[in-house]
A and B are shown apart, each in its own frame.
Chain A
Amino acid sequence: MTIHNLYIFSKSGVLLYYAEWNRLNKSGITKEEEAKLMYGMLFSIKSFVSKISPLDSKEGFLYYKTSKYTLHYLETPSGLKFVLNTDNVAQNVRNLLQQLYSQVYLEYVVKNPLCQLNEPIQSELFKLKVDELMKNSPIFLNRSL
């Protein structure tokens, strides 16, 4: 099991934070372009899912899976979007994303008066805590691929 990378988007689609751990394949475009593509795709998936769903779904889009990786998606009621790519066997990723929101983002960004909301996160402490949370989770297993 392994974690590839993480995106945090604001309500309006600004890339607030990006981190990667075991990412073997680079996209070949800049981080900003990649973030725009990613946000655009998520936006489309979200509206696709809500239109195509035969039942009234509460949670909406949760994750998608390809043959190589799984993309997990968590959106808070305030519109923050957490996106985490893992391999296909990872379990309980939703829980991890909830933890990331409540124990790291809330604590070290929202409660930091020197951090501007809706702007890319600069805090080093936040960076440190994200890294800590990911590396301590059982999903993160740094296999030599």
Chain B
Amino acid sequence: MDWKLWEPLIEFARKRSLWIVSFCTGCGGIEMPPLMTSRYDLERFGMMPNPAPRMADLFLITGYVTPKTLKRIIITYEMQPDPKYVIAHGSCTINGGIYWDAYNAIKRLDAYIPVDVYIAGCMPRPESVMEGINKMMEMIENGTADSWKRYKENYEWYKKNQDELFGEGWREREAKRWIPWIMDDLKRVEKEREKND
């Protein structure tokens, strides 16, 4: 079957049913509920907030990103299936915003995950977020929204930046971080039980 023929329909469907993964970071998270509710109803364009990353297409990074959050953002981003798009929202994602001299905020989000559309403002009004989403839809239509391709092609570069920030093997370290703490807790509980017996 020749899928080329169906490409316009598929592009239209991709454009008109962007599901957002509800990952609200920073202050911009407060700007998300107004977008979804009755005043600026984003469901008109078929967008839906979605708690599961596996179903989502659009990732809205809504504000400053700390290294701790960035780990989660990268993992969530990598969990999404492939045509996936990122909108970075607020000045903090562009150059650090008012946190330009903070030791604990990421200055350039673009160095860690690829971004399609930036929305400036601190914080942007819902209208400007809608403008950004409009731009996103245009880019999907004419095929310039290719951040997921860039992430695949330039993975070495992104990985180098991530490793520079967190140190090599951060995924395993992050996963194992709680084990000693849980073991200590278990030991403490056991000791208390022995004392009581």
| A and B pair up | no
Chain A interface residues toward B at CB < 8 A: none
